[in-house]
A and B are shown apart, each in its own frame.
Chain A
Amino acid sequence: MDDPVLLSRIQFAITVGFHFLFPPISIGLAWVLVIIEGVAWRSRNPVFEEAGRFFAKLLALTFAVGVATGIVMEFQFGTNWAVYSKFVGDIFGAPLAAEALFAFFLESSFLGLYLFGRNRVGKGLHWFSIFLVAIGATISAFWILVANSWQQTPAGFILNETAGRAELTSFYDAVFNPSTLPRFFHTLCASLVAGAFFTIGVAAFILRRSADNQPARAAMRVGVIVGLVAAILTLAPTGHDHARQVARTQPAKLAAIEGLYETQSQAPLIAFGVVQEHPPELHAAVYVPIPGLLSWMVFGDFDAEVKGLDAFPPDEIPPLWLTFVSFHNMVILGSYFILIMFIAAIQLWRRKLFHSRWLLWVLAWSLPLPVVATQFGWVTAEVGRQPWIVYNLLRTADATSPTVTTGEIWFSIILFTAIYSLLLALYLFMLVRETSHGPQPVKAQEVAS
């Protein structure tokens, strides 16, 4: 392979895809810990204190790998996408700088205080430090989604042809471009699901070994409540709103997501299908038996016209198979999360969850699935944006660094693949190790006192 554009895309996909395994867990787990530590602080309950101490170690581990791999992201727009960087710098750089200034400092400074300050500062300040970590992680998600959303639905700029760049006309419009808020809320809820499933999964592993481990039980209770609420919110209203926004602002992406080939009113919703790129055809599709459901879902009207792929020139259509399959897998997983959280919540309420070995087994192995779902969501968003790197403004093919050779890109692909494989192996090793050491069971008299 000697296509620098394809190589740079692979390089970016590997580095950002690997990095993006960790932040959703960090964000979600930080908020779960805000609750656990909050209960520990207010009630002085040693069970919650031990649960907090244990999950803090796992947050530190996840956060560390996220930080180590995140450093790459701040630099590689310049290294691999020089033309893009010059074109968008007037707009795209500010959110990245704001993210570092408002979020990274907050997260990393107060994570240090949270992890090392347990016996140095008062309980209130200690809780406040994990609260600020969670706030920082959430602000971080906001600013990086501002930057990415501007690529999807650019706003607040004019095109300066002579300078060859987009120039800011309104900072507010650029920040709150049409897709920023729908994508932020959807991603935030998905991150809460990821953090909740992480907590639940780890707790389930421990409970399968010793069903009366109270810190694991406490974490499980918090996890299931957060997981249930967040899983529902991820689908509706946030996921639904996001889809409606895509239909309004990026109709070609919506057509690819839904496998809609022909522009039509009363557009149907596909439940399952096999898409084919050349010639563009849909095989063996199963439709939801309500005519016009897609029209109604995205425009609130069964008769509304939804643009199909035939409405766009062939060179402006995103890759079909990947976009379609990623989106549908994300939806299937998202539905599964709601279902399994309902079952877990009911069993928790009936006081049967901690002894239900099959359900604990399912919950334990569901731990990574929200992260898989967020990867599918991200692929849907980014592949569905193609062939544009900035929607309708700059093509991905025209955006790479002209002076970087394919050999250099290969070097970085191999380098990061090797390092990231090592990091993933180490992360899983440490995660299993910490989990098997588990939180210490708390003695009955301590709980009573």
Chain B
Amino acid sequence: MIDLASIWFLLIFVLLIGYAILDGFDLGVGILHLFARDDHERRIHMNSIGPVWDGNEVWLLTAGGALFAAFPPVYATVFSGFYIALMLLLTALIFRASSFEFRSKVDSPTWRRFWDYSFGLGSLVTALLLGVAFGNILRGIPIDADGNWAGSFIGLLNPFSLLVGVAGLVLLTMHGAAYLTLKTEGPLQDRTRKWIPRTWVLFVPLYIIATISSVFAAPHLFANVLGNPLFWIFTVLVLLSIIATPVLHKSGRDFATFLATSLTILSAMGLGAVGLYPCLAPSSIDLAHSLTIHNASSTERTLTAMLIIALIGVPIVLAYTACIYYIFRGKTQITEESY
């Protein structure tokens, strides 16, 4: 069971979940940015993630690189298949990344509005597209017998995947609100706080509908999970964290609320991973054409070399990331260094 390819399946998901939790609140803050009231509030938004958003985004790049190295056919088939969707995702990421540096440098309302929309819509589109992509992977994508993509861009916009996309979008908005509550104070914090119950009420029915639909849209996910303890652990965690979020929020325990939304992201994606294993990209044409850890992995030598790299690199990254979060703990202030 614990072969190298399985370890890399796990590590890819660790990177993706790390990305979804860390850059997830950046994206959530970006979505909330669309509802901000004035310039000061918008600057607080951007500066609340100012020192960390770029490092958070590296999780996505690392996941992309690791997928390329560990499972090249998955990287090649999925990315060339999702061509138009990925180009749109990259556009959203470029505008979002640029908005930080450009926005506050020029004191013109039109200029700032443009970059506010770049940041807000860039975050919204990124969150939505990544969710839709995850939905498509769960549901299965059209891969033919030669391991090639046989679908279309429109085919990616199926109801199930869109549902997963919207649920993800709402979840990340809630997560962003939980983060922003930690970084704000006064009336802005009161307003931010209200987004948590607001999004929770939306998220719960979306999550239930998505789960029920997955039984019909992606039955392969449930083929052999019932005997898997991880399936039950994640199920319990996802239920617990969803129930805990409003309770913790109501009692004013902001950091615990943030941990709860993080746990929801972790366990929901974990459930997806458990269902997919050992598939990385199930084929919707015929499950026999799926790209799995058995037919799509790199050689043992490469996976070993990569594992050594990961074992050296990841602890170092986690250590200094934690230090930097510690240094920038507390409420966001606007200073001369700010965006």
Interface residues of A, count at CB 8 A: 69
Is A109 a contact of B55 with CB atoms below 8 Å?
yes
Is B328 a contact of A116 with CB atoms below 8 Å?
yes
Contact bitstring A366-381, B, C-beta under 8 A = 1, else 0: 0000000000000000
Which B residues touch A69, using CB under 8 A? 94
> Is B101 located at the chain interface by the 8 A CB criterion?
yes
* Segment among A117-125, A199-207, A301-309, A441-449 that sits at the interface with chain B: A117-125
Is B68 a contact of A101 with CB atoms below 8 Å?
no
| Closest Cβ–Cβ distance, residue A435 to chain B (whole Å) | 13
Contact bitstring B45-80, A, C-beta under 8 A = 1, else 0: 000001110110110011011111111110111111
Is B105 a contact of A86 with CB atoms below 8 Å?
no
Is A97 a contact of B76 with CB atoms below 8 Å?
no
Is B62 a contact of A71 with CB atoms below 8 Å?
no
Q: How far is the CA of A403 from the CA of B76 in the complex (A)?
A: 11
* Segment among A234-242, A290-298, A331-339, A408-416 that sits at the interface with chain B: A408-416
Is B310 a contact of A169 with CB atoms below 8 Å?
no
Is B94 a contact of A97 with CB atoms below 8 Å?
no
Which A residues, 26 to 81, have Cβ-Cβ distances below 8 Å to chain B?
Answer: 60-61, 64-65, 67-69, 71-72, 74-75, 77-81
Nearest opposing residue in chain B for A111, CB measure:
B54
Is B80 a contact of A71 with CB atoms below 8 Å?
no
Q: How far is the CA of A398 from the CA of B94 in the complex (A)?
A: 30
Which B residues touch A408, using CB under 8 A? 83-84
Q: How far is the CA of A423 from the CA of B75 in the complex (A)?
A: 28
Is A98 a contact of B87 with CB atoms below 8 Å?
no
* Segment among B175-183, B208-216, B247-255, B297-305 that sits at the interface with chain A: B297-305
Which A residues touch B154, using CB under 8 A? none
Is B68 a contact of A89 with CB atoms below 8 Å?
yes
Q: How far is the CA of A355 from the CA of B58 in the complex (A)?
A: 45
> Is B313 located at the chain interface by the 8 A CB criterion?
yes
| Closest Cβ–Cβ distance, residue B93 to chain A (whole Å) | 5
Nearest opposing residue in chain B for A69, CB measure:
B94
Contact bitstring A69-107, B, C-beta under 8 A = 1, else 0: 101101101111111011011111110111111101110
> Is B148 located at the chain interface by the 8 A CB criterion?
yes
Is A85 a contact of B68 with CB atoms below 8 Å?
yes
Q: How far is the CA of A115 from the CA of B100 in the complex (A)?
A: 13
Nearest opposing residue in chain A for B300, CB measure:
A168
**With known contacts A72-B90, A74-B64, A404-B83, A433–B105 Cβ distance under 8 A:** yes
Q: How far is the CA of A295 from the CA of B307 in the complex (A)?
A: 45
Q: How far is the CA of A255 from the CA of B94 in the complex (A)?
A: 40
**With known contacts A82-B80, A101-B313, A169–B68 Cβ distance under 8 A:** no
Residue in B149, B150, B338 whose Cβ sees the most chain A Cβ within 10 Å: B149
> Is B232 located at the chain interface by the 8 A CB criterion?
no
> Is B317 located at the chain interface by the 8 A CB criterion?
yes
Interface residues of B, count at CB 8 A: 65
Contact of A119 among B86, B101, B335 (CB under 8 A): B335
Q: How far is the CA of A44 from the CA of B60 in the complex (A)?
A: 40
Is B148 a contact of A89 with CB atoms below 8 Å?
no
> Is A316 located at the chain interface by the 8 A CB criterion?
no
> Is B35 located at the chain interface by the 8 A CB criterion?
no
Is A168 a contact of B299 with CB atoms below 8 Å?
yes
Is A85 a contact of B76 with CB atoms below 8 Å?
yes
Q: How far is the CA of A99 from the CA of B69 in the complex (A)?
A: 12
**With known contacts A68-B98, A100-B62, A430-B105, A419–B55 Cβ distance under 8 A:** no
Is B65 a contact of A74 with CB atoms below 8 Å?
yes
Which B residues, 305 to 339, have Cβ-Cβ distances below 8 Å to chain A?
Answer: 305-306, 309-310, 313-314, 317, 320-321, 324, 327-328, 335, 337-338
Is B78 a contact of A97 with CB atoms below 8 Å?
no
Nearest opposing residue in chain B for A166, CB measure:
B299
Which B residues touch A106, using CB under 8 A? 320
Q: How far is the CA of A119 from the CA of B112 in the complex (A)?
A: 26
Is B313 a contact of A102 with CB atoms below 8 Å?
yes
Nearest opposing residue in chain A for B64, CB measure:
A74
> Is A361 located at the chain interface by the 8 A CB criterion?
no
Which B residues touch A171, using CB under 8 A? 301-302, 305
Contact of B58 among A72, A105, A121, A412 (CB under 8 A): A105
Is B50 a contact of A116 with CB atoms below 8 Å?
yes
> Is A401 located at the chain interface by the 8 A CB criterion?
yes
**With known contacts A65-B98, A109-B320, A93–B90 Cβ distance under 8 A:** no
> Is B244 located at the chain interface by the 8 A CB criterion?
no
Nearest opposing residue in chain A for B49, CB measure:
A112
Is B105 a contact of A108 with CB atoms below 8 Å?
no
> Is B204 located at the chain interface by the 8 A CB criterion?
no
Nearest opposing residue in chain B for A175, CB measure:
B305
Contact bitstring A151-193, B, C-beta under 8 A = 1, else 0: 0000000000000010111010000000000000000000000
> Is B130 located at the chain interface by the 8 A CB criterion?
no
> Is B102 located at the chain interface by the 8 A CB criterion?
yes
**With known contacts A94-B305, A116-B328, A75–B73 Cβ distance under 8 A:** no
Contact of A78 among B79, B93, B94, B298 (CB under 8 A): B79
Which A residues, 317 to 341, have Cβ-Cβ distances below 8 Å to chain B?
Answer: none
**With known contacts A89-B75, A100-B58, A117-B51, A68–B299 Cβ distance under 8 A:** no
Contact of A109 among B70, B75, B79, B321 (CB under 8 A): B321
Is A89 a contact of B76 with CB atoms below 8 Å?
yes
> Is A359 located at the chain interface by the 8 A CB criterion?
no
Which B residues touch A412, using CB under 8 A? 83, 87
Which B residues, 176 to 216, have Cβ-Cβ distances below 8 Å to chain A?
Answer: none
Is A80 a contact of B80 with CB atoms below 8 Å?
yes
> Is A270 located at the chain interface by the 8 A CB criterion?
no
| Closest Cβ–Cβ distance, residue B78 to chain A (whole Å) | 7
> Is A426 located at the chain interface by the 8 A CB criterion?
yes
Nearest opposing residue in chain B for A409, CB measure:
B83
| Closest Cβ–Cβ distance, residue A9 to chain B (whole Å) | 16
> Is A300 located at the chain interface by the 8 A CB criterion?
no
Q: How far is the CA of A171 from the CA of B304 in the complex (A)?
A: 10
Other 7 A-B pairs with CB < 8 A, given A97-B69, A100-B61, A108-B57: A89-B73, A93-B75, A96-B68, A104-B58, A112-B324, A116-B51, A403-B148
List 6 A–B pairs whose Cβ atoms lie within 8 Å, in order of A's numbering: A72-B94, A93-B298, A108-B57, A112-B328, A168-B305, A408-B83
Please list the 7 inter-chain residue pairs (A to B) with the smallest Cβ-Cβ separation, ordered nearest first. A89-B72, A93-B69, A78-B79, A112-B51, A97-B65, A93-B68, A401-B80
A residues sitting closer than 8 Å to B (CB atoms) are 60-61, 64-65, 67-69, 71-72, 74-75, 77-83, 85-86, 88-94, 96-102, 104-106, 108-113, 115-121, 165, 167-169, 171, 401-404, 408, 411-412, 415, 419, 423, 426, 430, 433-434
